[in-house]
Amino acid sequence: MSNKKLIQLSSFFLKLKSQPMTAVLFLCASFSIIILFLMLFFVAQEGAYAFTQFGSDLLFGMRWDLESNIFGGLPLLFGSLMVTFGALIIAIPIGVSTSIFVSEVLPFYLRDPIKSIIELLASIPSVLYGFIGLLVVVPFIQDVFGLPSGQTALTASAILSIMTIPTIVSVSGEIISAVPKNYKEAALGLGATKWETIKSVVLPISKSGILASIMLGFGRAVGETIAVSMVSGNQAHIASSYFEAIYTIPSFIATHMGEAAVGSTEYSALFGLGLILLIITFIVNTLADVVVKRGVHQ
Amino acid sequence: MVICILAFLWIITTILTGIGTFNAELLTTSALQGGYFEMIVGTIYLFLGAAAIAGPIGVFAAIYLVEYAPSGKITRIIDQAINNLAGVPSIIIGLFGYTLFSRQLGFDISLLSGWLTLSIMILPIVIRGSEEAIRIVPKAFKEAALGLGATKWKAISLTTLIAAAPGIVTSVILGIARVAGETAAILFTSSVIMTRGTPSSPLEPVMALSFNMYVKIVARGEGPESVFDIALILFLIVVTFSLVAIILRIYYRRKQPWLS
């Protein structure tokens, strides 16, 4: 750290010392950082034993067997990524087209009601999504595809996509409606149709924002626990198609934490899985932030 | 967009089909007799406590970020941390809450652990909502107070905060809507399947609607029909809070001309 930066930093903290109210406010604002660090610390601490014991096998091992003390999370990681990608494949086209439609085509007085409905979708708790999935989607998929059980990766992806759409719509909608009006008017003035304007002006400008919204959607989907564990069948294996049951990291943690004895190897391995999940979402969210900021700068 | 609306209507109709078999007496009947009283009270206790913890901290954090924070590295890191906190999966927050609050601090499986864990989930929502509410209050309000000789904190707390109050309240209600049905975060920290009566101290475990639904379906393998009532109650609670927040926001945007 250079001298100048050090002086800046110390004057920042001196100022806090002389103004107690500012210091209190600063402390509240730093809470998020403190909590994040504590979270990383505690999850890593509890999972450390499993990592020293199994190393990368925790991530790439094929078998999770309590009796023979083998803990490999690859089928779970595979299951997580499989349902997340499935959900995104459904959610991206719907989400992006919805946000374009809401902020470009829809008449002004309809925007608030539609946005409110999307917000309501976002606030429905995951246990209710899981419930509806079990009640409606599971039997539906079982009948339509003639499967022995409707609890498949496809079911989980379908439910997850409905949960991911609000994230994609709200973030990319914000970026799309921030496109300067005169850009659009210039294109329209040159004789472009509304659709041509959207395609060649609005979309290229808001590209990075849309990308960020997809990444945030990924982060939300990969960590979804309750709904997925209710409809995905919960079988840890490398599924060869979306019509098979799978197990994801978060739902595995949720269903196994209760049985694992505190301090046991399994307990530590579950925290190890949690750490992997935390790091994945951490990277994705940070990248999304960077992408948005760079997009705004341009 | 049509799909979003259809999905929403479909969810509403599916859940509302449960009304036919719903018996209002069960709302006040104890769980020991097959009712839902303790679950409903437990759920309300949980989100009210979490909002009471996260509300003040979130509002203070928002004031700092809007009015005090110098634009520099520290502020950028705080901003980034809030975004990251909002993106942490709830199951990880549950693991963390269990390790720190239930075990390290010795609160065990209790209402208090649940409050602290859920408040972590509300915090980013309150901060972001309050930030926006504070940011759109015209500077002139604060400057008038400063011109009359008020200190910076006095000026902000007496003018900006009051003008931003509706927006702040809205963000807290929205936060409540997000955690009222949260399951993964209370799975290991605060909930049990059955208690005798409602908790009499924050150190006792608590029943919750979402937790009961989840455990009955996943652990006990009951069919979804058996928890239809609970789903209906939970849905009504969550949608009521969301709707109140949304309507409040639209109402105040119209009422306060400087907001538009």
- Interface touch A30/B8, C-beta < 8 Å: no
B234 domain-assigned: yes
Query: Mapping DSSP to helix (H, G, I), strand (E, B) and coil, where does residue B194 land?
Result: coil
Q: Is the CB of residue A48 less than 8 Å away from at least one CB of chain B?
A: no
Averaged pLDDT, B219-229: 77
| pLDDT at residue B125 greater than cutoff 50 | yes
Q: Is the CB of residue A215 less than 8 Å away from at least one CB of chain B?
A: no
B233 domain-assigned: yes
Q: Is the ipTM of this complex over 0.90?
A: no
Mean pLDDT lowest among A1-5, B96-100, B240-244: A1-5
Residue B247 domain boundaries: 38-259
- Interface touch A42/B178, C-beta < 8 Å: no
- Quick one: pLDDT at residue B92? 92
- Quick one: pLDDT at residue B130? 92
Residue of A nearest to B180 (CA): A125
- Quick one: pLDDT at residue A147? 78
Contacts of A256 in chain B (CB under 8 A): none
Q: Is the CB of residue A266 less than 8 Å away from at least one CB of chain B?
A: no
The residue with greater pLDDT, A150 or B124, is: B124
Q: At which residue do the structure tokens 């759920």 appear? A: B43
Q: B242 vs chain A: nearest CA distance in angstroms? A: 6
B23 domain-assigned: no
B18 domain-assigned: no
Most confident of A193-197, A285-289, B122-126: B122-126
Give residue-wise pLDDT tens across range B128-156. Answer: 999 988 888 888 888 888 888 888 888 88
Nearest to A274 among B3, B64, B92 (CB): B92
Give residue-wise pLDDT tens across range A217-262. Answer: 998 899 888 888 888 877 777 777 777 888 888 988 888 887 877 8
Residue B79 CA to residue A290 CA, distance in Å, equals 12
Give residue-wise pLDDT tens across range B70-80. Answer: 777 888 888 88
Contacts of A258 in chain B (CB under 8 A): 188, 219
Strand partners, A239: none
Contacts of B188 in chain A (CB under 8 A): 257-258
B213 domain-assigned: yes
Mean pLDDT lowest among A88-97, A98-107, A223-232, B22-31: B22-31
| pLDDT at residue A292 greater than cutoff 90 | no
**Residues above pLDDT 70, as percent of chain A:** 97
Interface of B with A in 185-204 (CB under 8 A): 187-188
- Interface touch A117/B8, C-beta < 8 Å: yes
B2 domain-assigned: no
pTM: 0.87
- Interface touch A127/B183, C-beta < 8 Å: yes
| pLDDT at residue B255 greater than cutoff 80 | no
- Quick one: pLDDT at residue B260? 47
Most B CBs within 10 A among A25, A92, A297, hence the mutation to make, goes to A25
Count contacts between A and B (CB, < 8 Å). 227
Q: Are B98 and B187 in contact (CB under 8 A)?
A: no
Taking each helix axis from N to C end, the angle separating A153-177 and A138-145, rounded to the nearest 10 degrees, works out to 120
- Interface touch B91/A250, C-beta < 8 Å: yes
Q: Are B52 and A184 in contact (CB under 8 A)?
A: no
Contacts of A278 in chain B (CB under 8 A): 88-89, 92
Boundaries of CATH 1.10.3720.10 in chain A?
Answer: 64-297
Q: Is the CB of residue B17 less than 8 Å away from at least one CB of chain A?
A: no
Q: Is the CB of residue A47 less than 8 Å away from at least one CB of chain B?
A: no
**CATH code for the structural domain at A64-297:** 1.10.3720.10
Question: At A258, which amino acid appears?
Answer: G
Q: Quick one: CA dihedral B168, A212, A221, A139, positive or negative? A: positive
- Quick one: pLDDT at residue B119? 93
Averaged pLDDT, B218-242: 82
pLDDT classification of B21: cutoffs 50, 70, 90: low
**Residues above pLDDT 70, as percent of chain B:** 90
B15 domain-assigned: no
Give residue-wise pLDDT tens across range A268-291. Answer: 888 888 998 999 999 998 888 888
Domain count, chain B: 1
Residue of B nearest to A116 (CA): B246
B171 domain-assigned: yes
The CATH number of the domain holding residue B184 is 1.10.3720.10
Q: Are A24 and B82 in contact (CB under 8 A)?
A: no
